[in-house]
């Protein structure tokens, strides 16, 4: 890792590296001279990212299958990464995540709650719990946790997703405080729409998926642009990474007038189609 420049020459571990934002992190970190362990639930997707790193002719990659919702698998990822690098990694990107939406809070099934909390929140908890002690001992290293503008946006019918992402922001801020003066950096990325495969893999009713896909196609930032902004923010020592203008505007609007902001989101929500109350309550 370059002195004070964590994104340069990193020995990085990226979760969810087989697609979208994770894949863009892996490629950009390799382009900045890094070696990257590309971890994903889908091994062949992780391998395709490693193949893209090789085709790019810069950096180096190694594919690993890992389900971040399992603490044991994340611990195994840390051991594999250490063996691959021959030393402790310098950067962890806790990126793997999934979407659940389309229902009011009281209608979300317990199965959907457990699924999304398991990946989006416990995935990040497992990553921090496993890698931070290694960084702390080495007195260097950096963590980027991928949250979302949903963490503060309070979008209706996205409750479970919003809760997991707010948890990731809180976890990151707490870690940032706990690691002050240790030489270990922590940052949390809060994107709005980014053009990825997230909707294809999400648990969303059809009408919502179509609406969200439209917004993503129209307004989505290309993942490589987002990731370059995020890594530059990490290098500058920022804690909240908000590379997109609409994310920064919403962030400040929420802080300036939280009540008006949330009421406004409520009116937007009234325009959305609503999935039937009974459609997804099995296991509730």
Give the whole-angstrom CA distance, residue 57 versus residue 59.
7
Closer residue to ligand NAD, CB minimum distance, 1 or 192: 192
Binding of residue 193 to ligand NAD (CB under 6 A): yes
Closest separation in Å from C-beta 180 to ligand NAD: 26
| Choice among 113, 135, 161, 193 that is catalytic | 161
Nearest to 42 by CA among 85, 122, 98, 111: 98
Give the whole-angstrom CA distance, residue 263 versus residue 257.
10
Select the span of 53-61, 190-198, 228-236, 263-271 touching ligand NAD (CB under 6 A): 190-198
Sheet with 141-146: list strands edge to edge.
60-65, 35-40, 11-15, 91-94, 141-146, 184-189, 240-241
* CA 192 to chain CA centroid, nearest Å: 12
Instruction: Tell me which residues in 105-164 interact with ligand NAD (CB under 6 A).
Output: 119, 146, 148
Of the residues 28, 40, 47, 112, which one makes contact with ligand NAD according to CB under 6 A: 40
Cα angle: 234, vertex 237, 240; to 5 degrees: 70
Binding of residue 15 to ligand NAD (CB under 6 A): yes
Closer residue to ligand NAD, CB minimum distance, 146 or 241: 146
Active site residue 161: yes
Who's near 143: CB < 8 A, 6+ residues apart?
Answer: 91, 92, 93, 94, 127, 128, 131, 132, 135, 172, 175, 184, 185, 186, 187
Select the span of 6-14, 172-180, 193-201, 236-244 touching ligand NAD (CB under 6 A): 193-201
Binding of residue 191 to ligand NAD (CB under 6 A): yes
Three-class HEC string of 150-202: HHHHCCCCEHHHHHHHHHHHHHHHHHHHHCCCCCEEEEEECCCCECCCCCCCC
With contacts defined by CB under 6 A, how many residues of the chain interact with ligand NAD?
Answer: 29
Binding of residue 47 to ligand NAD (CB under 6 A): no
Closer residue to ligand NAD, CB minimum distance, 103 or 192: 192
Nearest to 22 by CA among 40, 8, 9, 34: 40
Instruction: Tell me which residues in 65-94 interact with ligand NAD (CB under 6 A).
Output: 66-69
* Residues in contact with ligand NAD by the rule CB under 6 A: 15-16, 18-22, 40-42, 45, 66-69, 95-98, 119, 146, 148, 191, 193-194, 196-198, 201
**Residues belonging to the active site:** 161
């Amino acid at each position: 890792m370059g002195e004070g420049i964590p994104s340069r020459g990193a020995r990085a571990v990226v979760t969810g590296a087989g697609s979208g934002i994770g894949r863009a992190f892996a490629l950009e970190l390799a382009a900045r001279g890094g070696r990257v362990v590309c971890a994903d639930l889908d091994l062949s997707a992780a391998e395709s990212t490693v193949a893209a790193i090789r085709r790019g002719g810069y950096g180096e990659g190694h594919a690993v299958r890992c389900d971040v919702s399992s603490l044991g698998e994340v611990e195994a990822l840390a051991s594999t990464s250490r063996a691959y690098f021959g030393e402790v990694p310098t950067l962890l990107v806790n990126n793997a995540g999934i979407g659940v939406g389309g229902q009011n809070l009281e209608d979300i099934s317990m199965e959907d709650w457990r699924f999304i909390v398991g990946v989006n929140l416990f995935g990040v908890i497992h990553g921090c719990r496993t890698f931070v002690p290694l960084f702390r001992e080495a007195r260097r290293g950096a963590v980027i946790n991928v949250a979302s503008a949903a963490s503060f946006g309070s979008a209706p019918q996205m409750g479970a997703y919003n809760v997991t992402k707010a948890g990731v922001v809180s976890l990151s801020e707490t870690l940032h405080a706990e690691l002050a003066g240790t030489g270990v950096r922590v940052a949390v990325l809060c994107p709005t729409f980014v053009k990825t495969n997230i909707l294809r893999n999400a648990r969303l009713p059809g009408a919502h998926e179509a609406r969200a896909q439209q917004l993503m196609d129209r307004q989505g930032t290309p993942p490589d642009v987002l990731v370059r902004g995020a890594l530059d923010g990490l290098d500058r020592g920022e804690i909240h990474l908000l590379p997109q203008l609409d994310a920064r505007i919403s962030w400040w609007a929420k802080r300036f007038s939280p009540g008006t902001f949330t009421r406004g989101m409520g009116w937007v929500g009234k325009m959305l189609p609503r999935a039937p109350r009974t459609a997804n309550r099995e296991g509730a």
